[in-house]
Amino acid sequence: MLTLMRNNLQSPFMKLLVFVVVIVMGFWGVTTYSSQSLNIVATVGGEEIPVSAYQEAWQAFSMQIRQNDQIKDFEQYAESFNLRHKILDRLVNESLLLQLAKSNGLNVTKEEIASFIYNSPSFQTDGRFDMDKYNTIIDQSNQSKNDYENKLQKELLRSKFFTLVGGLRFVSESATKTNYILKNTNYRVKYFAINKEAFAKNVKATDKEIKDYYNKHKANYKTEQTYDLDYAVLTADSLVSKDQISQKAIDRFYNHNKQLFPANVKTKIDFITVPYKDHATISKVYAELKKNPKSIKHIAKQYKAAKVKYTTMPWKTKKQLESTFLKQDFTKVKVNNVLRPFVKDGHSYLVRVVDRKVDKESQAAINEQITNKILVAKRTRKLQSQKDKYASITDADKMNEIVTSHKLKWQTLTKFKYGAPASGNLDQVALWQALTKRKKEKVGVAQSVKQLVFYKIKKINPAKQKTFDQVKDQVKQQVLSDKQQQYLSKQLKQWGQDITSQARFNSVVSKYKLQSKEAQYTHDNAKISGMFIPSNIAGKLRVAKEKQAIAFQSFGNGYVIYISQVMKPNENNADFKDKLAGFQKQEEQETAIQFLEDLIAIQKKKLTITYNQDVLKALKI
C-alpha cells in the first residue's frame, strides 16, 4: 500500500482521498462490543490491548495533567474533555500503526533488539555494556525483561516506519518556496472600523415602509404566553444533610481516590550525590545501596574520597519533591527502596525513600472536600429518584398530599413568563422548560440541579397580537436599522473599489470622523488587533497588492484595510537559503505526520475494532 501511495501521492485523486480520510478519520472502522476477558480492554484487528497497557498510559497522562495548578477538580476535567476515551483512542491508533508497519514488510529481529540494548549509553559503564546495570535499571522500572524488550520492539518498529515515511517526498521545492515567501511576506496596513449607526443621517423610514414591515412580520410582535400557577419548592439539601455522611463513607472515598489528593501525602527521603562523570563510583554505590538501603549514610562515608556526600531531607509533598528533583517520580518507589540514579546540577543523585505519612493537618480539609462531593452525589441521586417517583402524577389532590408530606407550602405566581423577576429560591428556568413541554396536564414536577418544583397551573394566558400603533416606534427602529445595514454594505463595496491611495483612505476617515490605526500583517499570524478576519478575507489579502483596499463586514461592523506596503523576503539575502531549507524540513515533517494519520485512518477502515463493554464501564471510559 505504501508503494501505491508513494507513486500516486501527487495525483488529484490521491490528494482528495487523503483529505477525505483526515475529515472522517475518527468515525471509520467497524466497531463492535463484546463481553470478553476482563484483562482486555479492546481488540484491534485480532491484536489485544490489555487493561494494564491502558492503566499505565492513563496513569502517566493523568499525572502530567494533575501538575497543572489551574485544574482544581481533575475528575470533572477528565470527564468534560472525554480524556479516558482519548487515551484509549491513542492506544488503538498505535496498534493500527504497528500492524500497518508489519503489513508493509517491516519487522524488528531479536538481534536488532539486542544490538540496541548493548549499544545504549543508559546500560553502559565506561563505554561498555554492563549487565548488572541493565538488570538494575529494569528492576527499578518495575517490569520484567520480557515486558521491556516487547515495548522496545514496538518502539523500534515504530521508528522504522517513521523513517520510511520520512523518506517520502511530499512537497515540491517550488511549492515550498512559494509557501515560504507567502508566509513571510509582511504587509504594512492602515485600517478603520465603522458601524451602521454612522449612516443614521443617510437613511429615512416612510410610514408606508414601516406599515409594510409590520404586516410582513406580525408574528414577531406578540405578547408572551404567561401562566397563573401555584408552586412549591423541594430543595436537594433538605433531602440529604451533612450529618448523614458517615466517616466510613469518607474513608472509603479517600482510599479509592488517593490520587486526587497527592498533597496530603508527605515523603521523607535521604540521598547520596556523586559527581556525574564518575560512572564507576555511581555503579558501585548503587549496587551496595540496592543490597542494603538502610546503610546509605555508612556507604557515603566509605566513598568520601570520591566526593560522595550524604544528605537527609525533611518531610515533603509529592509536588515539592518533583519541583526539587526535576519531576522525578517518587510515587512508584516503595519505602526503603532506592530511586535509580539521575543527574541534576552536575551530580548523580541516588535517593532513598525513608518513610511516608498522611499529613493530619490537611486531612480535615480533605475530609470536608470529600463530604461535599459525596453530599452532591447523594442529593443528585435522591432528587432524581423523587422526580421519577412523582413525574407521572397529574391529579391536583394527590400533588397537594405530596407537598404536605414534605412539609412544603404552596406559593402563587401570576403572569409567570421566562425572564420574570425572581421569586424566592425558585429556579425559573427549570419551571419554564417544564411548563412549555407539558401541553395538557395542569399538574407537574420540574427538576433542576438543586431542587424539585411542584406546580399546579390555574390559568394559561395565551399570546396576543400587538397592534401597529402599539409597536410603531419599535418597528420604525428595526426598519431604520435594516436600511443602515444595507447602506453600510453598499458603502463598503464602493470603498473597496475607490480607495486606491493613502489620500483617499484619509479622506474617508476624516469625513466620518473615524479613528484609523496602523498594523503589520503576515499570513503566518493572520490577526490584526481588535478585528476578526474571516477566512475569505484572509484569502483576498494573500493576493492583495500595494495601494489596494479590502473592505468587509464582521459581526455587524464594517472594516476597511488599506495595504500601504508589501514586503517580501529578499531572495538575495545570505540567510534566505538556510531559512528556506529549515522551512522545507518543517513542512516535510508536518506533512509526514499528517500522512501517517491518513494511513492509520485507512487501516481503521479495513480492520475490526472490538471494545470490551464490561471493562469500559469499569474504567469509566
Q: Tens digits of per-residue pLDDT, 330-345? A: 766 889 888 888 888 8
Please indicate whether residue 588 or residue 36 has the higher confidence score (pLDDT).
588
Please indicate whether residue 589 or residue 521 has the higher confidence score (pLDDT).
521
Output the pLDDT for position 621: 85
- For the ranges 188-192, 421-425, 512-516, the lowest mean pLDDT is seen at 421-425
Radius of gyration for the alpha carbons in the chain, expressed in angstroms and rounded: 35
**Residue 348 contacts by C-beta under 8 Å, 6 or more apart in sequence?**
273, 274, 275, 276, 278, 282, 341, 342
Helix, strand, or coil here: 619?
Answer: coil
Q: What are phi and psi of 177, to 5 degrees?
A: -60, -45
What is the mean predicted confidence (pLDDT) over 225-229? 92
pLDDT category of residue 300 using cuts at 50, 70 and 90: very high
Contact 429, 448 (CB under 8 A): yes
What is the mean predicted confidence (pLDDT) over 450-466? 93
- For the ranges 291-305, 317-331, 587-601, the lowest mean pLDDT is seen at 317-331
Output the pLDDT for position 551: 96
Q: What are phi and psi of 40, to 5 degrees?
A: -115, 125
User: C-alpha angle 231/232/235, rounded to 5°?
Assistant: 140
Residue 347, all three cell numbers: 551530580
What is the mean predicted confidence (pLDDT) over 308-322? 85
Q: Which of 32-41, 363-372, 435-444, 446-455 has maximum average pLDDT?
A: 446-455
- Tell me the residue ranges of DSSP E strands in 292-368: 309-317, 342-344, 347-358
What is the mean predicted confidence (pLDDT) over 230-253? 91
Chain length of the chain? 621
Digit-coded pLDDT (tens) for 374-387? 998 899 899 999 99
Output the pLDDT for position 484: 96
CA distance 528 to 550: 13
CA distance 432 to 230: 13
Output the pLDDT for position 264: 64
Q: How far is CA 147 from CA 56, 269, 499, 534, 575, in A?
A: 13, 29, 70, 52, 48
Output the pLDDT for position 59: 84
Output the pLDDT for position 479: 97
Average of per-residue pLDDT values in the chain: 85
pTM of the predicted model, to two decimals?
Answer: 0.47
- Indicate whether 21 pLDDT > 50: no
- Indicate whether 281 pLDDT > 80: yes
What is the mean predicted confidence (pLDDT) over 121-140? 87
What is the mean predicted confidence (pLDDT) over 567-593? 83
Contact 462, 479 (CB under 8 A): no
- Indicate whether 518 pLDDT > 90: yes
In DSSP terms, 192 is beta-bridged to 560
- Indicate whether 614 pLDDT > 70: yes
pLDDT category of residue 524 using cuts at 50, 70 and 90: confident
What is the mean predicted confidence (pLDDT) over 418-432? 79
- Indicate whether 424 pLDDT > 90: no
Contact 313, 269 (CB under 8 A): yes
Output the pLDDT for position 69: 61
Output the pLDDT for position 439: 67
Digit-coded pLDDT (tens) for 552-574? 998 889 999 999 999 999 888 88
CA dihedral 569, 175, 18, 597 (to 10 degrees): -50
- Indicate whether 535 pLDDT > 70: yes
- Indicate whether 299 pLDDT > 90: yes
Digit-coded pLDDT (tens) for 50-75? 988 898 888 888 877 777 666 777 78
Output the pLDDT for position 361: 57
Output the pLDDT for position 354: 92
User: For the chain, what is the largest distance between any 2 Cα atoms, rounded to a whole number of angstroms?
Assistant: 104
Output the pLDDT for position 168: 65
**Residue 525 contacts by C-beta under 8 Å, 6 or more apart in sequence?**
none
Residue 263, all three cell numbers: 498533597
Residue bearing cell 517491516 = 106
- For the ranges 168-177, 473-482, 526-535, 560-569, the lowest mean pLDDT is seen at 168-177
Task: Kindly tell me the burial class for residue 166, based on how many C-beta atoms sit within 10 Å of its own C-beta (0-12, 13-18, 19 or more).
Answer: middle
End-to-end CA distance of the chain: 33
- Indicate whether 224 pLDDT > 80: yes
Output the pLDDT for position 26: 30
pLDDT category of residue 362 using cuts at 50, 70 and 90: confident
Residue 394, all three cell numbers: 397529574
Q: Is the dihedral of CA 53, 55, 61, 63 positive or negative?
A: negative
- Indicate whether 114 pLDDT > 50: yes
- Indicate whether 364 pLDDT > 50: yes
